[in-house]
Amino acid sequence: MPAPSPVTPHDVLAFESARVIVIGDAMLDRYVDGAVTRISPEAPIPVLQVREDRSVAGGAANAAMNIAGLGATTTLIASWGVDESGRELERLLIGANVAFTRITRGSAPTIEKLRVVAGQQQIVRVDREDIAPLDPDGETAVLDALTDALSSRRGGTAIVISDYAKGMLAESTVAKIIAVADAHAIPVVVDPKSVDIGKYRGAAVVKPNFAEAVQMARVAAAPPDEATLGVIADRLSSDGIGALAVSMSALGVEVIEGDTRTRIPTRARLVSDVSGAGDSMIAGIAVGLASGLSTLKAVQVGNMAAGIACGRPGTAVVTRADLLDEMLVEASPERRPGTIEDWGELARLVSVEKAAGRTVVFANGVFDLLHAGHVTLLKAARALGDVLVVGVNSDASTGRLKGPTRPLQPQSDRMAVLDAVRYVDFVTVFEQDTPRELIRTIQPDVIVKGSDYRAEEVVGGEDAKEWGGRVHIVDLLDGVSTTRLAHGEQVRRS
């Protein structure tokens, strides 16, 4: 089957209109990080010199955190205790702008997993949990919370069932959740632990890893070869399951939709920790479906998010900026979204970069014949930050500025040449005589101009002070200009 069409930055930017409701087993993941330099004299065990204690949301709560990180509106319906771990979990959720409803599960405390880590190697994991099943009142509370969440929904929505087999999701509860979703025509994405695929009948996507899929299909332990995947596809493609997305680590994801199988490859990378990668994948799939992507595109998003998570130590949250960066790394030149004429889309990309702590630099000009002076300016500008946006005068704007014989090249050609310069991240065009409106739209951190200007003369400089931006003047190469080149004058520099 032909490769599915790739996910684009435009697809990722659309995540902000999506909403995802996560229902499942929440927990708190605690990490004690340090270094081992000796063996205890008391017993043959390593002695950890602690450097850091930290806590992160785990299980269904981690899926919710990842969904929020991808830009979607997020609601978590889960169980945890009224204890210190529960209070810490709530602080994390509030900090990530995740709305939540806590469901009481008897006297069960907050599920907690403590990992002791030396370098990047886990030494021991300590679990504290009570997996008593949810009682009928608890199940009613889940369905009431789901109904309340759906009553205020706007735009695309998806539901995640994050089943860690910790007592929250009995078969009857899952069936009722899927029935509510079906009544509202909302896709359900499942991260499964049950070996009975029938438990999730009616879901749009079920995402087992390969080991879980083997158990579900009741296949003897086997490698993820074509024969085994064929048996899994035959046995698990049951009525009522829209698609299976079987994750196979470095081998990618096998998407099974009816009689069709599609392999989505995984980008090669150094794996730091697989903890929570499944939550990142389910988050990507759910947000993709909620924003209107096809199943194959949504799984691509999930696969990309899981790969990023695997490259980070511990349970990690993957953000929309992470996805955009990953796409720029993977994209071939013709697919790289460097040229963006829609200022609204550019402003959203810039805001994502700034939210991730990156410094955005802006430069502008006609760039009629790209020369060494231009490249020197662009290189210096890029060195001032992490992202360089270049604004180009349109053909009409250039004619008003330079006269009726200019530009020498149409704006599409000038933008294409700039897009090929390695220092430039995004190129856009402006029709006005100055870039002031563009600057006010994207709000860069630094505005760069050449030394033929004084800082107080730079258009947009006063505006930039409103958002904490600044102007930076860089030295220009002497004797280099498009006008001189156009008249055939030779450039001489010492």
In order of 84, 354, 377, 476, 488, the CA distances from 446 in angstroms are 44, 12, 14, 18, 34
- Give per-residue burial for 442-451: e unless 16+ CB within 10 Å, then b: bbbbbbbbbe
Q: Which residue in the list 11, 191, 273, 279 is annotated as catalytic?
A: 279
Q: How far apart are CA 350 and CA 446, in angstroms?
A: 13
In order of 45, 57, 95, 106, the CA distances from 113 in angstroms are 21, 10, 21, 20
Active site residue 279: yes
Active site residue ranges: 279
